Chain A
Amino acid sequence: MTLEFIGISVLWLFLFGYIMIGSIDFGAGFFNAYGTFTGKQHILNKIIQRYLSPVWEITNVFLVFFFVGIVGFFPQTAYYYGTTLLVPASIAIILLAIRGAYYAFTTYGGLDKRFTYIYGLAGLIIPASLSIVLTISEGGFVAIEESGPVLDYWGLFTSPLTWSIVVLSLTAVLYISAVFLTWYANLAKDEPATNLLRKYALFWALPSIVTATGIIIELRTHNFLHYQRLIDVWWMFGVSFILFLGTVFLILKRRSYGLAFILLIGQFLLAFFGYGVSHYPYLLYPYLTIYDSFTNKAMAIALIFAFIAGLALLIPSLILVLKLFVFNKEYVQGKRNDHA
């Protein structure tokens, strides 16, 4: 196994981590806003607040980790992506900033709850603006001119592939979030919340799987090489689909929501890595592969060491968080009031 491969796998794993916990976070914000809009806020509010409060900061770190890691392992990505992504990434940063700050302001500072709507909507636009990176990486939207890489905005915004990926990111966010929160509400023995979230989960299951399949078909015309490589690992998507059916079945039958969520993680993990493996070795088709952009060997080894040492510190800490909050029965059920 090459260092390049280890590097991209580590980063891909962290991106996956961000997508999962970020989705829960973004989706929760949206359901909260939607609940306020339909007058059902009292049902969901407590559950969502109890989950998010101790972990909102951690979610953000996963993102920082990914983008620091990618320029660390693959400095050339800064040249290509840094130049082309100025506008979409800046918009994403601004939305993330408003969203993160106002979460803290409303939760700890008692700021007006009117911001619930902004918060909910920002949570949907962020995944959309970030997912544009995935579209760009397929190639066809970046031209290399004398001054440097230039992004073709018109081409990007009129491409069906862009919009399919945006829709996928939205539906996936809502689906992942709803499944997790159903389980979490059930742990909290909060029946009305469980029922409501279960409905959301079932509602978003179909659109998310339909758009995911649609993208595979669109790649056939957009980037045939990638499409072929996707077909080569068809079994990963097959197993992923079976896991998806398992999740939906369990939620329909109101059984073992915990297992349903684990199956969902498996489903997305397989699909995400299937997509990643088939994209290999390109970071930006056809200009940038993981080989020509890789950092020097000494730095790569140092980064991998730092990564291992960092994980040795983080994993026990994260387990502690899960034990104290997410999996602490009394906390989840709201029987503890440890003040903030």
Chain B
Amino acid sequence: MSNSESVFFSRVLTELTLSFHIIYATIGVGIPLMIMIAQWVGIKKQDKHYILLARRWTRGFVITVAVGVVTGTAIGLQLSLLWPNFMSLAGNVIALPLFMETFAFFLEAIFLGIYLYTWDRFENQKKHLLLLIPVAIGASFSAVFITIVNAFMNAPRGFDIENGQLVNIDPLLSMFNPAMPSKVSHVLATSYMTSAFVLASIGAFRLLKGSDHIYHKKGLYLMMKLGLIFSIASALIGDFSGKYLAEHQPVKLAAAEWHFETKTGAPILMFGILDDGEVKYAIKVPYGLSYLSHSDLDAEVIGLNEFPEDEWPPLYIHYLFDSMVMIGMWMVLLSLMYVLGLWRKWRFVMSKTYKWLIVLGGPLSIIAIEAGWWLTEVGRQPWVLRGIQRTEDAATTSGQVDTMLLLFAGLYLILGIGSAVVLIRMFRNNPVEQELADRTAEEEGVRL
């Protein structure tokens, strides 16, 4: 296998692993917070249904955590296995956030185990709630630290280069790089948003499929409210990310927007296709890009033509950008109408069609997460370490990457199907009505 083939297969394998891992990782970051909120609402309102929500979500969560942990271990090792030249160069700088990520993960792992196995040990549910705090903190901080590593790859700093080696390293300066604030906050907000909409989607599905229990209605309403808050937050932070790109990584923004000529008062393009360098069928929003980039309708936005063509990212990232933004906007609208609708007693939000739209919202949010990550990662090409190391110089020289790709693809297929089957069976075999009845019976001392 030639070196360029190794590079190609290494990229495919990394993309496959990350794309699969991200589904479980995103849920893994957001759901502990939702569980914590449900538990807290349950205690505050003295409402058993919310406590039961927390409990049932946790049970499903364990399955997704398991897949998240094992695929996370895979990507952790693949960093060194597939990109040894990158790690031996940048390992000097990114080691600290990577190391701290394992601590956050450790904290989450420990307290999730305790939380799971002490359901009925504490009389006082507040004590049980306390156990969830480290789980949620650990989950969110893993995301923070790992996103810092990624931010560093987009905006490397905190070192000097001497003879191809990184020297005079300042670990903190490299962690708090310019890409870090917008990236970290966008990752957190979208993870919370996605988790809320995934849980809402499950609740809506149960309501559609026969169960009319108040439990599902409470869960759905709570998740749509949280989803609304976090989707608005995601959109606002997304806007900051655009401004960050305009200032520090203009080539990525220009490629995502098919913005070739440097212009003042640049329009933003929505949809469209690119045909031989010609943009067709796009909707132009005048001054949009200037506003997105600099909060100023007349500002100048740097175009792609200012950069050498071998530093351009692939131009298909425009479609990813569109998908991500459209889904985000759609989810803000969907949750806003639902929350307003319930409050103002609008008929249509109670309809079956609307519930189906909510069911669709969960998978859509996950698609937006994938699109967003592909956008940010492909948009950084051809660099692995922007401006310092090109992707083709970072990959392994081993000739067996193609075989490994097949093996891992098989693994993810098994894990994906396995986790879906287990999750569906878990909740189908023990519907909430059954569990409520069992618990009441147990509390009354009637042993079934």
Which residues from A are CB-within-8-Å of B62?
A: 104, 108
Which residues from B are CB-within-8-Å of A306?
A: 96, 99-100, 103
Which residues from B are CB-within-8-Å of A58?
A: 106, 109-110, 113
B426 to chain A, nearest CB (A): 5
For chain B, residues 52 to 83, give those with C-beta under 8 angstroms from any C-beta of chain A.
59, 62-63, 65-67, 69-74, 76-83
Q: Contact: B106 with A90, CB < 8 Å? A: no
Q: Contact: A78 with B80, CB < 8 Å? A: yes
Which residues from B are CB-within-8-Å of A93?
A: 73-74, 77-78
Most chain A Cβ neighbours within 10 Å, of B71, B102, B121: B102
A33 to chain B, nearest CB (A): 19
For chain A, residues 93 to 118, give those with C-beta under 8 angstroms from any C-beta of chain B.
93-94, 96-98, 100-105, 108-111
Contact code string B91-121 (vs A, CB < 8 Å = 1, else 0): 1110110111111011101111110111111
For chain B, residues 120 to 162, give those with C-beta under 8 angstroms from any C-beta of chain A.
120-121, 134
Q: Which of B59, B418, B429 contacts A108 (CB 8 A)?
A: B59
Known contacts A78-B84, A79-B88, A324-B118: does B98 contact A97 (CB below 8 Å)?
A: no
Q: How far is the CA of A140 from the CA of B115 in the complex (A)?
A: 49
- Among A159-167, A204-212, A274-282, A314-322, the stretch that binds chain B is A314-322
Q: Contact: B171 with A313, CB < 8 Å? A: no
Asked if A65 is at the interface of the complex by the 8 Å CB criterion, the answer is yes
Asked if B446 is at the interface of the complex by the 8 Å CB criterion, the answer is no
Which residues from B are CB-within-8-Å of A57?
A: 65-66, 69, 109, 112-113
Known contacts A90-B81, A90-B408: does B100 contact A310 (CB below 8 Å)?
A: yes
Which residues from B are CB-within-8-Å of A148?
A: 84, 396-397
Contact code string B406-447 (vs A, CB < 8 Å = 1, else 0): 011001001100110111011001000000000000000000
Asked if B404 is at the interface of the complex by the 8 Å CB criterion, the answer is yes
Q: Find the B residue at minimum CB distance from A70.
A: B80
Which residues from A are CB-within-8-Å of B90?
A: 75
Q: Find the B residue at minimum CB distance from A148.
A: B397
Q: Find the A residue at minimum CB distance from B95.
A: A72
Q: Contact: A75 with B95, CB < 8 Å? A: yes
Q: How far is the CA of A325 from the CA of B110 in the complex (A)?
A: 12
Q: Which of A61, A86, A96, A105 contacts B102 (CB 8 A)?
A: A61
Q: Contact: B418 with A64, CB < 8 Å? A: no
Which residues from A are CB-within-8-Å of B398?
A: 83-84, 86-87
B77 to chain A, nearest CB (A): 6
For chain A, residues 176 to 233, give those with C-beta under 8 angstroms from any C-beta of chain B.
none
Asked if B167 is at the interface of the complex by the 8 Å CB criterion, the answer is yes
The secondary-structure label for the interface of chain B is helix
Which residues from B are CB-within-8-Å of A60?
A: 69-70, 73, 109
For chain B, residues 193 to 251, give those with C-beta under 8 angstroms from any C-beta of chain A.
none
Q: How far is the CA of A317 from the CA of B72 in the complex (A)?
A: 22
Q: How far is the CA of A20 from the CA of B96 in the complex (A)?
A: 26
Which residues from A are CB-within-8-Å of B414?
A: 98
Q: Find the B residue at minimum CB distance from A105.
A: B422
Which residues from A are CB-within-8-Å of B63?
A: 104-105, 108-109
Asked if A1 is at the interface of the complex by the 8 Å CB criterion, the answer is no
Q: Contact: B81 with A86, CB < 8 Å? A: yes
Asked if B4 is at the interface of the complex by the 8 Å CB criterion, the answer is no
Contact code string A79-92 (vs B, CB < 8 Å = 1, else 0): 11111111101110
Which residues from B are CB-within-8-Å of A147?
A: 3, 397
A77 to chain B, nearest CB (A): 8
Asked if A237 is at the interface of the complex by the 8 Å CB criterion, the answer is no
Known contacts A61-B106, A295-B91: does B113 contact A109 (CB below 8 Å)?
A: no
Q: How far is the CA of A302 from the CA of B81 in the complex (A)?
A: 25
B325 to chain A, nearest CB (A): 34
Asked if A67 is at the interface of the complex by the 8 Å CB criterion, the answer is yes
Asked if A339 is at the interface of the complex by the 8 Å CB criterion, the answer is yes
Q: How far is the CA of A310 from the CA of B98 in the complex (A)?
A: 13
For chain A, residues 281 to 322, give those with C-beta under 8 angstroms from any C-beta of chain B.
295-296, 298-299, 302-303, 306-307, 309-310, 313-314, 317-318, 320-321
Known contacts A78-B88, A97-B415: does B99 contact A68 (CB below 8 Å)?
A: yes
Q: Which of A54, A79, A86, A101 contacts B117 (CB 8 A)?
A: A54
Which residues from B are CB-within-8-Å of A80?
A: 84
Q: How far is the CA of A69 from the CA of B81 in the complex (A)?
A: 15
Which residues from B are CB-within-8-Å of A324?
A: 114, 117-118
Asked if B169 is at the interface of the complex by the 8 Å CB criterion, the answer is yes
Q: How far is the CA of A306 from the CA of B81 in the complex (A)?
A: 25
Contact code string B160-178 (vs A, CB < 8 Å = 1, else 0): 0000001111111000000
Known contacts A97-B74, A105-B66: does B98 contact A82 (CB below 8 Å)?
A: no
For chain A, residues 108 to 163, give those with C-beta under 8 angstroms from any C-beta of chain B.
108-111, 147-148
Asked if A236 is at the interface of the complex by the 8 Å CB criterion, the answer is no
B177 to chain A, nearest CB (A): 15
A236 to chain B, nearest CB (A): 30
Q: How far is the CA of A147 from the CA of B62 in the complex (A)?
A: 43
Q: Which of B69, B81, B134, B421 contacts A100 (CB 8 A)?
A: B69
Which residues from A are CB-within-8-Å of B107?
A: 313-314, 317
Which residues from B are CB-within-8-Å of A78?
A: 79-80, 84, 87-88, 91
Q: Contact: B113 with A321, CB < 8 Å? A: yes
Q: Which of B83, B112, B400 contacts A87 (CB 8 A)?
A: B400
Q: Find the B residue at minimum CB distance from A50.
A: B117
Q: How far is the CA of A314 from the CA of B401 in the complex (A)?
A: 37
Q: Contact: A101 with B167, CB < 8 Å? A: no
Q: How far is the CA of A331 from the CA of B117 in the complex (A)?
A: 10
Which residues from A are CB-within-8-Å of B65?
A: 57, 104
Q: How far is the CA of A61 from the CA of B111 in the complex (A)?
A: 13
B369 to chain A, nearest CB (A): 21
Asked if B336 is at the interface of the complex by the 8 Å CB criterion, the answer is no
Q: List 6 A-B contacts (CB under 8 A).
A: A57-B65, A75-B90, A76-B88, A148-B397, A303-B99, A339-B120
Known: A67-B77, A93-B77, A296-B92. 8 other contacts (CB 8 A): A72-B91, A79-B87, A86-B396, A86-B404, A94-B407, A296-B167, A338-B118, A338-B121
